Amino acid sequence: MEHVVLGIDGGYPLLVLAWLAPLAGAIALWAFGPRVRSLGGPIGAAICGVAFLALLPLWNAATAIGSHAYLFSTHSNGIGAAGASAVASYSTNASGANAAAVSTLAGIHQSLVSWAPGFTFGLLLDRLSLVWALVITGIGFLIQVYSIGYMTGDRAFARFFAYLNFFVFAMMTLVLSDNFVGLLVGWGLVGLASYFLIGFYFDRPSAVKASRKAFVINVVGDIGILFAIFLMFAAVGSAGYGDVFANVAKLSPGMLFAICGCLFIGCAAKSAQVPLHTWLPDAMEGPTPVSALIHAATMVTAGVYLIARCAPLWNASEESRMLVGTIGGITALAGALLGLAQWDIKRILAYSTMSQIGYMIMGVGVGAYDAGVLHFLTHAFFKAQLFLTAGIVIHALADQQDIRLMGGLRTRQPFAFWSMTLGVLAICGIAPLSGFWSKDAVIYGTLERGYPALYAIGVLTAGITAFYMFRLLFVTFFGTYRGAIDPSSLGIRHPELSGQAVEPAHDHHEAHPTSILMIAPVAVLMIGTIGAGLLWIAGWRDFFAPAFAGAPEGHGAVFLPELGSTILVTAVVLVGIAIAYVRYAAPAALREAIERLRVETVRMPAPLAHAFYFDVAIDALFVKPAQALGRLAGTVLDPLVLDGAVRETSIVTAWLGHLARSFQTGLVRAYALTLVVGAACFVAYYAFGAVR
């Protein structure tokens, strides 16, 4: 069997180091956390930094464009043969027509292990994974530095960094894998890291519940990918990227759609796409740095990575692009709408994350991979910055997360205010901040590729985004501080519904001064927030052109030029900002802020307040029936029916035993009688039956 490997096979110890160092850090910190105590944070951050640095020397090798793919003939029993690249037969002209698609995806490849024929594992670092790997380790490093300040004093300080390191390892596994199984391994492990971190404050029932929910929904996504692997393996006999992509032409359109659909189930769960998004807002139970790293910058964008990675599949399947683009658009809109209704600062950011990922998915879904990936990059910067800033605010306000109980923080926390303002502007897409470039590219990409409906959604969502992000900004930082007033006067009846913990967490429940360790990473992120978008005009598309070769191009005939589109979007965004200003920041609005917030709280439209009833529906459709069936099995079928049958059998047997004993009356004459009856039967048989 021929085995196609993407990338130039070889030994890359730095790559392995970058991959495994966080794992080693995680294990060490987990095992020896109680010993190292406060050193845990610096150690964790340092390891992450090492991983980041280890990647840099690989830049040239990973981005070198090879005009070739490597084909290995492996023994069909395949044990370890793929690793032994020396025996490979080499070909520059692989598999005919698909060679072009494959050959452009060059990078570096490190072989690892083989399970069975078709299941061989290795690391692949090409442009796509390089971008992700750098973001993961880089932002991971920054956020760990931030966390040293944020988590100071927490009892499980070292364990927190163990989890973060583990997450980085898992995410690296996900993006560096050269096959779908390895990807799935990473996919599951990041889910696990996410589970640990969401449930970090595990004595809080809401955190426990949220972590379980996140994990289970992510497993739903996992089995989507699993099924896609079945399909691919049955079709091409391998789960390696190279093998699958080289054989795209052999797959029927229906099969392609099925594969893409199943893969997308995974994306939807991981990247919080409708209808599998419900875990993301709940995931804000985790510490804020976690939300920044995992639930904003990196993990949730794994779906984007997967689709970008599988560009050859999507390129070949029009229906899949339609499906993914549509879901992405719906998610973008739904996230934005739900963002309108939130009061918890982190939940607002969570819904905005969902919305922005919707954009990315829409982008990569319709084939605008470069735009989608750029939006991932810029979003990683500005959303991480937003979260970290929110963290600073929360930290300073003794873990208060309800923006109704904030207000007027502009003067009290100037750094936070400016940082937040910058982030909000970026996410709204105000030129020339990073969000402007990427979002614009995505929105226009849909139009370019012939999806006007998605375009419309994109534009509308941009406006809504501007509104609710500025609402967040205005309510939090403008006006007067409301932290001291009675929550009920703001209409807050059930604090837990607002996202605020009933029993706020732990031992660091007091106002903290903002440490330099928390400010510095935010400052670094600001650079990206401001400047990352410029990559779009600095050769971004060319950089990725080899990776996304064969992507559907624009139809040409577009009724709106790019500049016109930009102006339109900017106008809509400005309208959104204006409405927000009028409602929340205009002097008149500020005067009656408390009353306004109360009314808004009480009169919140029910569908929004209940997040479009997704939770209710999932509960009623899946959870409740499963529990009912389980109860049926565990309390009725097992003890009564199945076991009952056995019990009846034993009862009948015992009864038969008593019956047999009842003939044993102790009366010798009765015994004689049974003897004679037996003899009579014998005699009757022998007299009449035995001989005819």
Partner 1 sequence: MIDYRSFVTQADTLAILPIIITVLGALVVLFVDLLMPKKAARRTIALGIAAVVLVCASLDERTLYGPAQSIFAGSFVVSGFSVAFSEIVLVAALLSLALSAGIGKSDQVPGTTALVLWGTSGALLMAGAANLPTIFLGLELLSLALYCLCAFSDRPQARESALKYLILSSMASGFMLYGMALLFGATGSVALAAFALAAPSPLFVLGAGLFLVGIAFKLSLVPFHSWTPDVYEGAPLAVTAFMSVVTKAGTLAVFARFAYVSLPPAIAERILIPVWIVAAISMVVGNLAALAQTDMKRLLAYSGIAQVGYIVAALAGATESGMRYAIFYLGAYTFMNLGAFAVTALVARDAEAGARLPAFAGLARRRPLLAWAMTLFLLALAGLPPTAGFTGKILILASAVNAGYAWLAGLLILGTAISLYVYFKIVRAMFAQVDLAHIREERSGSPLPWIAVTLCAVATVVLGLYPFAPSAVLPALH
Partner 2 sequence: MIAAFCILAPIVVGILLFALPRTSSVPRWVGVGIALATLVALAANPNASDATLRWLQRPFTASFHVGFTGPGYAIALLLALVTVCALVALNAPRSRDFTINVLFLEGAMMGVFLAKDLLLFALFWDLMLVPVFLTLVGWGAPHGRSAWKYLIYNFSGGLLLLLATAAYGAIYGTTDVIGAATLPIPAFPGAAATATPWILAGFAIAFLVKTPVFPLHTWMPETYADAPSQLAAVISSVQSKAGIYGFLVIGLPLFAPQMHGVAVPMIVLGLIGLVYGALAALVERDVKKIVAYSSLSHLGLMLVGIFSFDELATRGVVVYMVAHGLFSAALFLVLGYIEAREETRDLARLGGIAAINPRLAGALIIAALAALGLPGLAGFAGELLILTGSYRAGLFWPAAIALVPIVIAAAYMLRAFQGTMQGPRVADLPERRDLTWLEGLALAPLVAALAYLGVNPAPIASLALGAMHTLGVAAR
Partner 3 sequence: MIVFWPLALVLIASAVFTITAKKPVYSVVGLLVNFAALAVLYVTLNAEFLAFIQILVYSGAILILFLFVIALLSSGTKAFDVGPDRLPKILIPGGLFVFVVLACIAAVTVRLPFVTRPLAAVGVTGNENVFGSVADFGTALFTTNLLPFEITAFVLMVAVIGVVLLAGDEAPPFAKKARPERESIVKTQVLK
Element (H, E) at 72: strand 70-73
At 630, list the tokens. Answer: 């389980």
Evaluate whether 74 touches 82 at the Cβ level (below 8 Å): yes
670 binds partner 3 (CB under 8 A): yes
Q: Taking the C-alpha atoms of 505, 508, 514 and 519 in order, what is their torsion angle to the nearest 10 degrees?
A: -60
Report yes or no: 320 and 256 within 8 Å, Cβ to Cβ: yes
Tokens 């670094």 appear where?
524
Binding status of residue 643 toward partner 1 by CB under 8 A: no
Residue 629 found at the interface with partner 2 (CB under 8 A): yes
Which of 511, 642, 656, 683 contacts partner 3 by CB under 8 A? 683
Identify the residue among 658, 667, 689, 690 touching partner 3 (CB under 8 A): 667
Q: Does 633 bind partner 2 (CB under 8 A)?
A: yes
Name the residue nearer to partner 1 (CB basis): 398 or 684. 684
Nearer to partner 1, 90 or 686 (CB): 686
β-pairing verdict for 107-116 and 119-126: antiparallel
| CB-based contact 457:465 (threshold 8 Å) | no
Other Cβ atoms less than 10 A from the Cβ of 571: the count is 13
CB atoms within 10 A of CB 171: 29
CA-to-CA dists, residue 276 to 167, 219, 347, 463, angstroms: 21, 11, 16, 24
Q: Provide CB contacts within 8 A for 323, sequence distance 6+.
A: 257, 260, 261, 264, 365
The CB-of-657 to partner 1 minimum distance in angstroms stands at 4
Which three-class secondary structure state does DSSP give residue 2?
strand
- 375 backbone dihedrals φ, ψ, rounded to 5°: -65, -35
The type of residue at 203 is D
Give the integer Cα–Cα distance in Å for 669 and 652: 29
Is 586 among the residues that bind partner 2 (CB under 8 A)? no
- Considering the complex, what minimum distance in angstroms separates the CB of residue 679 from partner 3? 8
Q: Residue 64 or 680: which CB sits closer to partner 3?
A: 680
Distance, in Å, from the CA atom of 209 to the CA atom of 502, rounded to the nearest integer, reads: 14
Least distance in angstroms from the C-beta of 663 to partner 1: 7
Q: Binding to partner 1 (CB under 8 A): which residues in 646-685?
A: 653-654, 656-661, 663-664, 666, 668, 670-672, 674-675, 677-679, 681-683, 685
Q: Which of 319, 300, 306, 205 is nearest to 252 (CA)?
A: 319
291 Cβ partners below 8 Å, 6+ apart? Answer: 283, 284, 346, 349, 350, 387
How many residues contact partner 2, by CB under 8 A?
A: 60
Residue 181 binds which of partner 3, partner 2, partner 1, none (CB < 5-8 A, kind-dependent): partner 2
Does 664 bind partner 3 (CB under 8 A)? Our answer is no
Q: Does 414 bind partner 1 (CB under 8 A)?
A: no
Choose between 645 and 668: whose C-beta lies nearer to partner 1. 668
Round to whole Å and give the CA distance between 132 and 96.
31
Return d(Cα 382, Cα 368) in angstroms, integer.
Answer: 21
User: Of 249 and 679, which has the nearer Cβ to partner 1?
Assistant: 679
Kindly indicate which of the ranges 37-45, 86-94, 188-196, 453-461 contains the residues binding partner 2, using the contact rule CB under 8 A: 188-196
Residue among 227, 415, 481, 581 that touches partner 2 (CB under 8 A): 227
Nearest to 264 by CA among 364, 116, 408, 379: 364
Count of chain residues binding partner 1 (CB under 8 A): 29
- Among positions 192-221, residues that touch partner 2 (CB under 8 A) are 192, 195, 199, 202-203, 205, 208, 211-212, 215-216, 219-220
* Nearest-approach distance from CB 613 to partner 2, in angstroms: 21
Contact 120, 55 (CB under 8 A): no
Examine residue 676 and tell whether it contacts partner 3 (CB under 8 A). yes
The item of partner 2, partner 3, partner 1, none sharing an interface with residue 90, based on CB under 5 to 8 Å by kind, is none
Nearer of residues 602 and 673 to partner 3, judged by Cβ: 673
Encoded tokens for 542: 């060319």
Tokens of 294: 């995992």
- Can you tell me the distance from the alpha carbon of 129 to that of 131, in angstroms, rounded to the nearest whole number? 5
Indicate the residue among 398 and 676 with the shorter CB distance to partner 3. Answer: 676
Residue 567 interacts with, from partner 2, partner 1, partner 3, none (CB under 5-8 Å by kind): none
Residues that bind partner 3 (CB under 8 A): 665, 667, 669-670, 673, 676-677, 679-680, 683-684, 687
Residues that bind partner 1 (CB under 8 A): 653-654, 656-661, 663-664, 666, 668, 670-672, 674-675, 677-679, 681-683, 685-687, 689-691
Residues that bind partner 2 (CB under 8 A): 30, 77, 79-80, 113-119, 156, 159, 173, 181, 184-189, 192, 195, 199, 202-203, 205, 208, 211-212, 215-216, 219-220, 222-223, 226-227, 229-231, 233-234, 239, 626-627, 629-635, 637-639, 642-643, 646, 650
